[in-house]
Structure 1
């Protein structure tokens, strides 16, 4: 439970940091927003309009049962109205053949040519092909899709003008109808040609049977009669004739399907090249192998079933028939799950299925014809033994007449089916010119541009922040330095550098008090009595932090000593307003030239207390050797005995290792970092300097934090926690309506 709570708090802090980063860089985000909106508006203004027109067509399928029309059920494979699904119609509409027909129609339409010529501002060009788009352009401009789950197809066209889009959509409808009509006609013509051949064969056979009947009647001189044998044989002959017609019908259908498959394979090879074509051919070979294996198994079962029928064992024959049906269903399920690439070509899959079914049917029909012929032969032998050959001849005439009538009826009804099939594709709604362009949409583009601008600006801000070499938050500083942040100091103006310039409860005042308190809590058992303050690079504000820390500690009625340890660029005297900071100091006391009481300058700060200041004194030849000497160690030990708290200001670590050398004699070493300026490389070099001298860093002070700086919550905490009265006084002081009482500078006390 505690871990979850800490995780939520960390997430909340991270979100606050991100919000502060965005708020700080609002100018960059605003610039990105305005630039994106401007670019979106320019692109919208200069983009040509695009109009979209749509037409609807309905697929009317002639699903009349073939038995009602008198046609064999096996002819359904050749009738497009009953075998082609709506997905096939969609593929036909998107095919190259339809687009080529559309291009021809556009080139032959004077209205479209003249209209596009006016759009191209060249009405005098007599060449229609100059204003007719190519196939690829038409393919991009035309969209064909199914409306919901019905049998309605939506054809959409996109063009530069509303009238042009409507013309494209309507011509596409007519081109689609023409191509589909031609494909249907080719399929029906194959059925009609088959029926023509069957009628002619039946007519010739009927004539021969009639002549034979007349001859037999004259030879036997006896009347035709019927009996139980003739009735049975007549039935067998009728079944045999129907089986032969179905067998020839199935063979013709198989030949037609094989021809269509050859054409479709050629189209597939042209359409799919490379690895995709190879994968498709591999699936074709695998599936054909599977079909042949199942076909051989079913063929063996069909032969065994025929044997059981001849023996009169109808129970076994029925079991084999059920097993054959189950194996066919299993084959179709396995093929559908294993050959997904083949399933993506629905027309080819349908033809493969038809080929397999027709081959199985031909085997079954051949077995059926053989069985019927055997039974007929047995019945004929019985009839001949009774001298009824004349009756057989009459029966053949009757069967031939019935067959002839059947085929003539089928022929007539197939003509009717042809006439009905010609209307499979019918326009439901023609396209009309749209009233407004589909694109560009000014409002939508501006909204999208605005969102992208804000999002892009935020991403740029966060990316820039993540690529910065400075520190983002206190947590990063502590993890990098392996030391706590003991103080966060606000940015101080050049006119207000000392703690005496600020009123109590102000962020600046409280910041140094918090720093003084943090030092006490570094060690509760033995609070530190001496501190060395340094920085990584010059300009971080270490001298200012040293001075104000001494003033904050003086408020506790402690004896505080502020030591100038920067021999190269001493600056404490200038900040404190001391004119004689060049007098005797630390080096003079160390060598014994001046007693400590003579070198120390006592400073009094009203409302704060007393602070003793020890200048640097005469500069030694090598300051590093001076701080590392035993003489300085003895002097510093004496200072620690005399004073309650000693603050030493030393040069930056990247300039001199003085702070690292002092770490062995002082209690605390503090490193001052300038917010959003001190880099990680500089801090890494300073820490390396401390490690080289086996010195420890006890704390970090973050200086010059402004309201715009993000990631540092202390400064904002005091701004937010400031009372109402302090906030009003702060606002009035900024407007120059309120004057703070003058705080005098430090003065010497004898």
Structure 2
């Protein structure tokens, strides 16, 4: 798990599967760090060319900055609304944002950089006839003669030239997340910059208004023509409607309470009459049914009118009184009694009167029933007639309705266009432009360029880029050993040690000083040599290099000295019979040496010299023979090496260089192996590879390589090859050498 500080708690990881991501992450970090170290080492190794390149670019930037003509930038801030504020419509003051805003603003930015706008500014400021304007921007105007006068006939071409010059220097910068746009212009003339920006903005606003007015004028003209056409169509359709109604005698009246008839908003007289007669017919049918019911009642003797008739009621009351009186009389008298007969006669007359009145009421009911039936029949005939007439009228009204709908449609179109025409007229009269100036351009007081600090930063960046490219090229073309790791990568031999660079005249003192960095470095070489054979330190070895003066003699002397300090009997032989140097460093005379023994001139004992200063025995090379290779190829050289190995614990031979000579190959074949000295920062890797290949072809064993004269300042590699142990000996030795 991961702790809060970002470290990893490995105690919670149970198996290798849990540890795999962590190890992978560590490898990635290590690889990244290794790559960074390699790049840093590369930059440090070539720091002088890199610094020289950066400094050169900085100086060039400073010089160019002071040689540049000051440029002045004037800026104006404008606001571009999505659409002009609406005053006349009732939809609101400002229009809501839509997804087309981006397209709209990009269009506006494009219009701000149009050729037409630039040329209109040229015309407004009369720049096409201003020769100083063209000279200011380094443009050769069209039509200029030898005297510098501008030809009026070429004014249109100069107008385009001036517009192109303005467009190259105008800058349109929208302010992010706003409707503001910054319009700026840069020129050597501060006053001209302000004039051009202000003219540019005002001309853009004027052009926008003109474009809007032209669009409104076109719309008004189009609507006027359409209104004229629709007006004519409305008149024709209404005239056609009226003519058809007159010809077909279709008389309509306005519909009551908004009711719609066949004619749309009107109803015909026939329909009105039919409706009225139909209502009367319904009423007549009800009256006839009511009269029929009364008639049936009268036939059954139950006439309501008779019961309600006052005369009949009076007669019946009188009869009832007489009948009651008659019944009383019948109790006492006989029907023939005169008084009784008189009463009977009166009752009979009353019955006749009642019967007469009832007959009159029944006749009245029959008359009413007959009248209602006749009226119902008459109304029914009239309704049928009106129905037939209305059906016929409706058949003729189909075409009338077609004309009516055409007239209504034309009227609606005409009204809609007329309303739109009025809205456009109002909007064009009270609309507000959607572009406004927030800040006008002022005359700049300080130049906008050149800017020394910015140019220095750009120069440094460019210098670093060029320096990085130069370092890459130098690294690819460099053929020296600047990295100790290159010894194993390029030569495929073990690296036994790396020795620091010491002044040439102070190497002996550094070797004799047990605390010097050189001694410490060769002590590492000696330690690694102990593992080069199965019996430890080799009994015999030679030290060689690819070319002369590469540090092999110093290496041979240092290795022999360190072996002697270990209590070993060590013999140091100068095997370079062509250009010997050890006798000088050891303070010996080279009157007799190895060459004398090989030719049999002197015995071996006379050629060995004890060097107490270094604690070893030395054999000089002796006089230079005519052909050293012939001496080395003889059996006598192998015999002397074997004899010396019996007398001494270790025999170290300073061999000649490999390239161009066979001496080093012959010596190497007679010893156990060769120690290969490689000069850091000097020897070509290709030459060292060829030299080693010669040793391998001769079947000479190579114990390893020693990278000599290594400078940590020239190769900051992070490998720890820094020999500053704090003893202060190298500084003293260098000062003594200089003295």
Q: 1:455 to 1:569 in 2, by over 3 A?
A: same
- Please state whether the residue corresponding to 1:176 is helix, strand or coil: helix
How many Å apart are 1:504 and its aligned residue?
Answer: 2.0
How many Å apart are 1:476 and its aligned residue?
Answer: 0.5
Q: 1:394 to 1:68 in 2, by over 3 A?
A: farther
Specify the alignment match of 2:549 in structure 1. 539
Q: Is the 8 A contact 1:60 1:426 kept in 2?
A: no
Q: Distance in 2 between matches of 1:555 and 1:458?
A: 48
CA radius of gyration, larger in: 2
List aligned pairs for 1:672-691, cutoff 5 A.
Answer: 672-691=677-696
Specify the alignment match of 2:579 in structure 1. 569
Specify the alignment match of 1:169 in structure 2. 197
- Please state whether the residue corresponding to 2:702 is helix, strand or coil: coil
Q: Distance in 1 between matches of 2:517 and 2:78?
A: 74
Q: Is the 8 A contact 1:474 1:711 kept in 2?
A: no
| Alignment partner of 1:234 is 2:256 | no
* Structure 2 unmatched runs, 5+: 1-21, 92-99, 139-143, 267-389
Q: Is the 8 A contact 2:76 2:183 kept in 1?
A: yes
Specify the alignment match of 2:395 in structure 1. 385
Q: Is the 8 A contact 2:41 2:717 kept in 1?
A: no
- Please state whether the residue corresponding to 1:597 is helix, strand or coil: helix
- Please state whether the residue corresponding to 1:718 is helix, strand or coil: coil
Q: 1:82 to 1:689 in 2, by over 3 A?
A: closer
Alignment coverage as a number of residue pairs: 574
1:58 maps to which of 67, 80, 83: 80
Q: Distance in 2 between matches of 1:582 and 1:708?
A: 42
List aligned pairs for 1:596-635, cutoff 5 A.
Answer: 596-605=604-613, 609=615, 611-617=616-622, 622-635=627-640
Q: Is the 8 A contact 1:53 1:166 kept in 2?
A: yes
> Deviation per CA, 1:69-105, whole angstroms, max 9, x where unpaired?
9xxxxxxxxxxx9999333333333333333323322
Q: 1:691 to 1:175 in 2, by over 3 A?
A: same
Q: Is the 8 A contact 1:499 1:548 kept in 2?
A: no
Q: Is the 8 A contact 2:571 2:619 kept in 1?
A: yes
Specify the alignment match of 1:352 in structure 2. none
Q: 1:494 to 1:173 in 2, by over 3 A?
A: closer
Q: Distance in 2 between matches of 1:483 and 1:85?
A: 72
Q: Distance in 2 between matches of 1:146 and 1:67?
A: 30
| Alignment partner of 1:488 is 2:498 | yes
Q: Distance in 2 between matches of 1:699 and 1:117?
A: 75
* Structure 1 unmatched runs, 5+: 70-80, 237-379, 740-750
Q: Is the 8 A contact 1:58 1:426 kept in 2?
A: yes
Specify the alignment match of 1:290 in structure 2. none
1:102 maps to which of 116, 121, 139: 121
Q: Is the 8 A contact 1:562 1:647 kept in 2?
A: yes
List aligned pairs for 1:288-299, cutoff 5 A.
Answer: none
List aligned pairs for 1:183-202, cutoff 5 A.
Answer: 183-202=211-230
Q: Distance in 2 between matches of 1:108 and 1:8?
A: 63
> Deviation per CA, 1:679-713, whole angstroms, max 9, x where unpaired?
12321331232133122322112223345442687
Q: 1:46 to 1:132 in 2, by over 3 A?
A: farther
Specify the alignment match of 1:43 in structure 2. 64
Higher mean displacement: 418-427 or 472-481: 418-427
1:86 maps to which of 90, 105, 114: 105
Q: Distance in 2 between matches of 1:550 and 1:691?
A: 25
| Alignment partner of 1:670 is 2:675 | yes
How many Å apart are 1:645 and its aligned residue?
Answer: 0.2
How many Å apart are 1:405 and its aligned residue?
Answer: 5.0
> Deviation per CA, 1:349-389, whole angstroms, max 9, x where unpaired?
xxxxxxxxxxxxxxxxxxxxxxxxxxxxxxx9985437798
Q: 1:420 to 1:427 in 2, by over 3 A?
A: farther
List aligned pairs for 1:484-563, cutoff 5 A.
Answer: 484-498=494-508, 502-523=512-533, 525-563=535-573
Q: Is the 8 A contact 2:119 2:160 kept in 1?
A: no
Q: Distance in 1 between matches of 2:398 and 2:669?
A: 139
Q: Is the 8 A contact 1:103 1:135 kept in 2?
A: yes
> Deviation per CA, 1:564-615, whole angstroms, max 9, x where unpaired?
2222222222221112x322x435545665443333223323xx53x22233
- Please state whether the residue corresponding to 2:549 is helix, strand or coil: coil
Q: 1:520 to 1:714 in 2, by over 3 A?
A: farther
List aligned pairs for 1:299-310, cutoff 5 A.
Answer: none
Q: 1:7 to 1:549 in 2, by over 3 A?
A: farther
Q: Distance in 1 between matches of 2:398 and 2:502?
A: 135
Q: 1:95 to 1:692 in 2, by over 3 A?
A: same
> Deviation per CA, 1:323-367, whole angstroms, max 9, x where unpaired?
xxxxxxxxxxxxxxxxxxxxxxxxxxxxxxxxxxxxxxxxxxxxx
Specify the alignment match of 1:224 in structure 2. 253
Higher mean displacement: 405-414 or 544-553: 405-414
Q: Is the 8 A contact 2:668 2:701 kept in 1?
A: yes
1:441 maps to which of 432, 442, 451: 451
- Please state whether the residue corresponding to 1:201 is helix, strand or coil: helix
> Deviation per CA, 1:22-44, whole angstroms, max 9, x where unpaired?
55665544443433222212222
Q: Is the 8 A contact 1:54 1:157 kept in 2?
A: no
> Deviation per CA, 1:234-293, whole angstroms, max 9, x where unpaired?
379xxxxxxxxxxxxxxxxxxxxxxxxxxxxxxxxxxxxxxxxxxxxxxxxxxxxxxxxx
What TM-score does the superposition give when structure 1 sets the normalisation length? 0.65
List aligned pairs for 1:143-182, cutoff 5 A.
Answer: 143-182=171-210
| Alignment partner of 1:641 is 2:646 | yes
Q: 1:517 to 1:200 in 2, by over 3 A?
A: closer
Higher mean displacement: 620-629 or 210-219: 210-219
CA RMSD of aligned residues (A): 4.6
Higher mean displacement: 639-648 or 33-42: 33-42
Q: 1:188 to 1:503 in 2, by over 3 A?
A: same
Q: Distance in 1 between matches of 2:640 and 2:74?
A: 93
What TM-score does the superposition give when structure 2 sets the normalisation length? 0.66
Specify the alignment match of 1:705 in structure 2. 710
Q: Distance in 2 between matches of 1:732 and 1:567?
A: 34
> Deviation per CA, 1:529-568, whole angstroms, max 9, x where unpaired?
1101111111113223222322221111111112222222
- Please state whether the residue corresponding to 1:694 is helix, strand or coil: coil
List aligned pairs for 1:379-458, cutoff 5 A.
Answer: 384-385=394-395, 405-420=415-430, 423-454=433-464, 456-457=466-467
- Please state whether the residue corresponding to 1:563 is helix, strand or coil: strand
Q: Is the 8 A contact 2:37 2:717 kept in 1?
A: no
Q: Is the 8 A contact 2:85 2:431 kept in 1?
A: no
Q: Is the 8 A contact 2:541 2:653 kept in 1?
A: yes
Q: Distance in 2 between matches of 1:714 and 1:388?
A: 110
Q: 1:462 to 1:153 in 2, by over 3 A?
A: closer
- Please state whether the residue corresponding to 1:698 is helix, strand or coil: strand
